[in-house]
């Protein structure tokens, strides 16, 4: 098991374009989280899946953001009509049922120009 994997590691896009990120959790983990981290800040929760069900979405997640986790395996996070304010590191984490620890991926750094 290689841990939580995120792809791509870096993405540069023009304002207004759509982008999609992928997260592959640790295989037996049924919980998956997306966080956003801007420079100098701690990660902020975006959304949470238990298996394939999206159970919570942060108010940070505007209508331009959508996340899926088909079949309870990998997850995708799509941002439509990107804005410069979307520039950030997007982190994915997975865990077994609480209270076990969450394991993080290396993140996808998005730059919107």
Binding site for other proteins (CB under 8 A): 31, 33, 35, 40-45, 48, 55-56, 89, 91, 93, 95, 97-99, 101-107
What's the min distance (Å) between Cβ of 24 and other proteins? 14
What's the min distance (Å) between Cβ of 20 and other proteins? 20
Burial class from Cβ neighbours inside 10 Å (0-12, 13-18, 19+) for residue 97 reads exposed
Nearer of residues 13 and 106 to other proteins, judged by Cβ:
106
What's the min distance (Å) between Cβ of 69 and other proteins? 15
Total Cβ atoms within 10 A of residue 93: 22
How many angstroms from the chain centroid is the CA of residue 50?
A: 14
User: What is the length of the chain?
Assistant: 113
């Amino acid at each position: 098991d290689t841990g939580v994997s995120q792809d791509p590691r870096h993405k540069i896009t023009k304002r207004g374009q759509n982008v999609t990120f992928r997260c592959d959790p640790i295989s037996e983990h049924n919980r998956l989280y997306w966080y956003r981290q801007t420079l100098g800040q701690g990660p902020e929760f975006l959304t949470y899946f238990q298996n394939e069900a999206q159970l919570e979405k942060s108010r940070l997640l505007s209508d331009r953001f959508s996340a899926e986790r088909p079949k309870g395996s990998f997850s995708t996070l799509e941002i439509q009509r990107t804005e410069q304010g979307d520039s950030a590191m997007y982190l994915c984490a997975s865990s077994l049922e609480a209270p076990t620890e969450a394991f993080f991926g290396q993140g996808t750094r998005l730059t919107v120009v």
